[in-house]
Amino acid sequence: MPRYLGIDSSTQSCSAIVIDTDRSEVVLDLSVHYGEELPHYDSPNGYLYPEDSVAQHSNPLMWVEGLELLFARGREAGFDWSSVAGVACSGQQHGSVYLNAGYTEATWDPAVPLVDQVRPLLSRATSPIWMDSSTTKQCEEIAEAAGGGERVAAVTGSRPTERFTGPQIRKFFQEDPEGYQQTARIHLVSSFVAFLLAGRDAPIDYGDGAGMNLLDLAQGRWSDVMLEATAPGLGDKLPAVVPSNTRLGRIAPFFVRRYGVNESAEVVVSSGDNPNSLIGMGASHPGTAVVSLGTSDTYFAAMTRMQVDPAGYGHVFGNPAGGFMSLICFKNGSLTREEMAKRFQMSWEDFSAAIRQTPPGNNGNLMLPYLFPEITPRVLKPELKLYGSGAFRSWHDSAAAVRAVVEAQALSMRLHSQWIAERPQTLLVTGGASQNDGILQVFADVFQAALRRLSVTNSAALGAALRAANACSGIDWDALYAEFAAPEPGTIQPDPDTAAVYDRMLVELQRRLAEVA
Ligand code: XUL
């Protein structure tokens, strides 16, 4: 039975993809939007507090109900769940779920909705998620106790970071010591879903575990120093940490009885959405980097040897295919590009044309493109700052302004990914803006790398399905990528004549950033 299920429990929705490895086909692709389909959780976008709140939580029961709904939807659509041989999950990174000691006794009763069986097991009603940045104090305390931010980065792959699970756990321990005391198990969103599927305790993998500021990434085990710096008795509350291809055994009988899943279907350990996406985009080998041009822009790539960003912006996670991966997040992505298009009333065709009309290097015009506070590099007072000709600086040169925003974004991405030893020969691009040829040519020239577009849309769920196939049947990554994650035909080649221009511009950008960041 060569069918494998990947489930992604993400911020706004959860989704399921089933791949058939014999037919090289995706045979099921569905999703449940929390805000629309589970309105009783009062979370139109999947979280509970207003968008601009520093604290951000979700109701973990919404994730449980969403998961069951996926199985129900599949059955309603006539999908035969008994054809699935293995399942793996992906979860939004960093979010955490808190269970009391009752979790050890949990055996899901097929006659009762899962959500009603999980409710009494929660020791904390809500789950902090990756959008929460309320733990600056805890990050400072952890850094202090563990020998400084750089030391923490050297061990865990990231400096203490507000949204990461360790600082969030510390905050819970400080604000609700009794709740912390009653917590017997702390899961990540991803391992929580594996716990639901397996119906018994589930470990955390190196991919998602690295997003906690708790894992000794090089050693592949929880770091005693980090556990101690975070909260008392934390080691006992965390599941085991294991490689990303670990099989956890059969799916819980609950899913067999209620939805007709095959009783011998195996559950594979979960991972985070970014590590899963690395797989779903076929990018787990060093030399290929993924550039995702979305609401935020992200850059991620496999790395063979663990290295950390000396500037402290980038993160290192476990690569599910072995080794490590980098992840760098730039907050000023599409919304900042859109601001330019709006300001000059341009369509995306006009936007592309503006880039074509202007030369690489933009006649010396340069922009610092910070419409919003930026995390890479840290810019707290956002501003669109212009340097260059008078017409450009007074916003009278629309074509130059458009090129400037894209060049600055691409150059900043190159600059802030330089700490990764492997230079990419190929960039795989995805996300809304990857449809724009003008934008892509700038990225190819700035990086002096060939660009290929990816057509995969739900890379996290697909990556989970590919991980299930790899772990359960041993099909190797290259064979899976060729069938399910091949980039679109055609390559955008860099123009070698632009290399020197962008080398110079990179130095100029760095100089300007030093003035504001
Ligand atoms: C990564 C991060 C986000 C979430 C989104 O560090 O915070 O990409 O994983 O789900």
Task: Give the ligand 1 atom nearest the CA of 10.
Answer: 10
Whether residue 266 is predicted with pLDDT greater than 80 in this model: the reply is: yes
Ligand 1 site, residue 10, Cβ cutoff 6 A: yes
Give the pLDDT of residue 421: 86
Nearest CA to ligand 1 atom 1: 93
Whether residue 144 is predicted with pLDDT greater than 70 in this model: the reply is: yes
Q: Do domains 3-274 and 282-453+487-517 have the same CATH topology?
A: yes
Average pLDDT score over residue span 219-226: 98
Residues 411, 375, 364, CA angle at the centre, nearest 5°?
A: 25
* pLDDT per position as a tens digit, 33-86: 999 999 999 999 999 998 778 999 999 999 999 999 999 999 999 999 999 999
3-state secondary structure (DSSP) of residue 33: strand
Give the pLDDT of residue 284: 96
Task: Give the ligand 1 atom nearest the CA of 273.
Answer: 9
* pLDDT interval class at 172 (50, 70, 90): very high
Structure tokens at 175: 């604000």
CA of 95 from ligand 1 middle (Å) equals 9
Query: How far apart, in Å, are the Cα atoms of 271 and each of 258, 317, 511?
Result: 26, 10, 39
Give the pLDDT of residue 52: 78
Whether residue 89 is predicted with pLDDT greater than 80 in this model: the reply is: yes
Average pLDDT score over residue span 124-146: 97
Nearest CA to ligand 1 atom 7: 130
Nearest CA to ligand 1 atom 6: 93
Do residues 96 and 196 make contact, with C-beta atoms less than 8 angstroms apart? no
Average pLDDT score over residue span 341-358: 96
Whether residue 517 is predicted with pLDDT greater than 80 in this model: the reply is: no
Long-range CB pairs of 231-239 (<8 Å, 24+ gap) are 231/169, 231/170, 231/172, 231/173, 231/180, 232/173, 234/169, 234/186, 237/183, 237/184, 237/185, 237/186, 238/185, 238/186, 238/204, 238/214, 239/185, 239/187, 239/191, 239/201, 239/202, 239/203, 239/204
Ligand 1 site, residue 130, Cβ cutoff 6 A: yes
**Ligand 1, pocket-test mutation among 15, 213, 273, most atoms within 8 A of CB:** 273
Average pLDDT score over residue span 177-189: 98
* pLDDT per position as a tens digit, 436-480: 999 999 999 999 999 999 988 899 999 999 999 999 999 999 999
CA distance 329 to 342: 24
* pLDDT per position as a tens digit, 392-408: 999 999 999 999 999 99
Query: How far apart, in Å, are the Cα atoms of 321 and each of 79, 277, 361?
Result: 30, 12, 38
Nearest CA to ligand 1 atom 3: 93
Strands 204-205 and 96-99: unpaired
Give the pLDDT of residue 263: 97
Residues 480, 483, 485, CA angle at the centre, nearest 5°?
A: 80
* pLDDT per position as a tens digit, 103-121: 999 899 999 999 999 999 9
Give the pLDDT of residue 516: 87
Structurally, what CATH architecture does the domain formed by 3-274 represent? 2-Layer Sandwich (3.30)
Nearest CA to ligand 1 atom 10: 92
Ligand 1 site, residue 94, Cβ cutoff 6 A: yes
> Domain residue spans in the chain?
3-274, 282-453+487-517
CA of 163 from ligand 1 middle (Å) equals 9
**Ligand 1, pocket-test mutation among 208, 329, 330, most atoms within 8 A of CB:** 329
Whether residue 435 is predicted with pLDDT greater than 90 in this model: the reply is: no
Task: Give the ligand 1 atom nearest the CA of 91.
Answer: 10
Do residues 38 and 72 make contact, with C-beta atoms less than 8 angstroms apart? no
Do residues 278 and 430 make contact, with C-beta atoms less than 8 angstroms apart? no
Whether residue 433 is predicted with pLDDT greater than 90 in this model: the reply is: no
Whether residue 262 is predicted with pLDDT greater than 70 in this model: the reply is: yes
Task: Single out the residue of 76, 10, 6 nearest to residue 43, CA to CA.
Answer: 10
Do residues 393 and 407 make contact, with C-beta atoms less than 8 angstroms apart? no
* pLDDT per position as a tens digit, 155-166: 999 999 999 999
**Ligand 1, pocket-test mutation among 13, 92, 190, most atoms within 8 A of CB:** 92
* pLDDT interval class at 1 (50, 70, 90): low
Which CATH code of 3.30.420.40, 3.90.930.12, 3.20.20.140, 3.30.420.10 fits the domain covering 282-453+487-517? 3.30.420.40
Structure tokens at 287: 């030399």
Average pLDDT score over residue span 266-293: 95
Average pLDDT, the chain: 96
Average pLDDT score over residue span 350-362: 96
Q: How far apart are the first and last CA of the chain?
A: 54
Ligand 1 site, residue 274, Cβ cutoff 6 A: yes
Ligand 1 site, residue 244, Cβ cutoff 6 A: no
Q: Tell me which of 423 and 168 has the higher pLDDT.
A: 168
* pLDDT interval class at 214 (50, 70, 90): very high
CA of 79 from ligand 1 middle (Å) equals 31
Nearest CA to ligand 1 atom 9: 93
CA of 130 from ligand 1 middle (Å) equals 6
Q: Give per-residue burial for 128-151: e unless 16+ CB within 10 Å, then b.
A: bbbbbbbbeebbebbbebbeebee
Give the pLDDT of residue 431: 87
